[in-house]
Amino acid sequence: MTTATPALALPVTDEALAARLRDRLVVVEEALAGHVRTGAPFVNETASHLMEAGGKRFRPLLVLLAAEAGDQPEAAEVVTAACVVELTHLASLYHDDVMDEADLRRGAVTAHSRWGNHVAILTGDFLFSKSSELTAELGPDAVRIQAQTFTRLVQGQILETVAPGPGEDPLAHYLEVVAGKTGSLIATSAQYGARFGGASREVEQALTAYGEIVGAAFQLSDDILDIASDSGESGKTPGTDLREGVPTLPVLMARASTDPADARLHELLDGDLTDDDRHAEALDLLRKHPALDEARAYVVGQAQEAKQQLAPVPAGPVRDALEAFADIVAVRSA
Positive or negative torsion for Cα 150, 244, 238, 283: negative
Please report the pLDDT score of residue 210 as a whole number. 98
Domains and CATH numbers, the chain: 11-199 (1.10.600.10), 201-334 (1.10.600.10)
- Number of neighbours of residue 279 by Cβ within 10 angstroms: 17
Work out the pLDDT band at 101, boundaries 50, 70, 90: confident
Mean pLDDT of the chain: 91
Please report the pLDDT score of residue 291 as a whole number. 97
Please report the pLDDT score of residue 137 as a whole number. 97
| pTM, two decimal places | 0.92
Name beta bridge partners: 105.
Answer: 108
**132-156 pLDDT, tens per residue?**
999 999 999 999 999 999 999 999 9
**154-197 pLDDT, tens per residue?**
999 999 889 898 989 999 999 999 999 999 999 999 999 999 99
Residues comprising the chain, all counted: 334
- Helices 201-228 and 58-67: crossing angle in degrees, nearest 10, is 150
Would you say residue 9 has pLDDT above 80?
A: yes
Q: Where is pLDDT greater, at 246 or 85?
A: 85
* Residue 54 · residue 3 · CB < 8 Å: no
Please name the helix (run of DSSP H) or strand (run of DSSP E) that holds residue 108, with its range, or none.
strand 108-109
Q: Which of 227-231, 256-260, 302-306 has the lowest mean pLDDT?
A: 227-231
What average pLDDT does this structure show over 210-234? Answer: 86
Q: Which of 101-115, 181-195, 254-268 has the lowest mean pLDDT?
A: 101-115
Please report the pLDDT score of residue 232 as a whole number. 46
Q: What whole-number percentage of the chain has pLDDT above 70?
A: 94
Q: Which of 1-10, 39-48, 213-222 has the lowest mean pLDDT?
A: 1-10
Calpha distance 43→230 (Å, rounded): 40
**40-71 pLDDT, tens per residue?**
989 888 888 888 877 889 999 999 999 999 99
Would you say residue 258 has pLDDT above 80?
A: yes
Please report the pLDDT score of residue 201 as a whole number. 98
Q: What whole-number percentage of the chain has pLDDT above 90?
A: 74
Please report the pLDDT score of residue 179 as a whole number. 97
Please report the pLDDT score of residue 44 as a whole number. 86
Would you say residue 1 has pLDDT above 80?
A: no
* Residue 223 · residue 241 · CB < 8 Å: yes
Would you say residue 233 has pLDDT above 80?
A: no
* Residue 327 · residue 303 · CB < 8 Å: yes
Calpha distance 49→26 (Å, rounded): 18
Q: Which of 120-124, 147-151, 169-173, 258-262 has the lowest mean pLDDT?
A: 120-124
The one-letter amino acid at 304:
Q
- Number of neighbours of residue 328 by Cβ within 10 angstroms: 16
Please report the pLDDT score of residue 5 as a whole number. 60
